[in-house]
Structure 1
Amino acid sequence: MTTPDLRTQFLEGMSRAAASVHVITTDGPGGRAGLTASAVTSVSVDTPKPSLLVCLNRSSRSAVAILENGVFCVNLLGAEQTALAEAFAGRTEGDRFGTGAWITGPTGSPVLADALVAWDCRITRSELVGSHHVLIGEAEQIWLNAPRLPLIYANRQWLGAPGA
Structure 2
Amino acid sequence: MDETEKKLIREYFESVAKLQDQNIVRSDKVLGDLGEWLCVKKFGLVLEESGRHPGYDGKINGEKVQVKVHNSPERTNLSVGDPEKYDHLIVLIGPRSKLRIGSRDEAFHAYCFTSAEVKNTMARDSGYYCAKGTLEAKSHKSIDYKA
TM-score between both structures, scaled by the size of structure 2? 0.30
More strand by share: 1
Q: Identify the structure with bigger relative contact order (alpha carbons < 8 Å, sequence gap 6+).
A: 1
More helix by share: 2
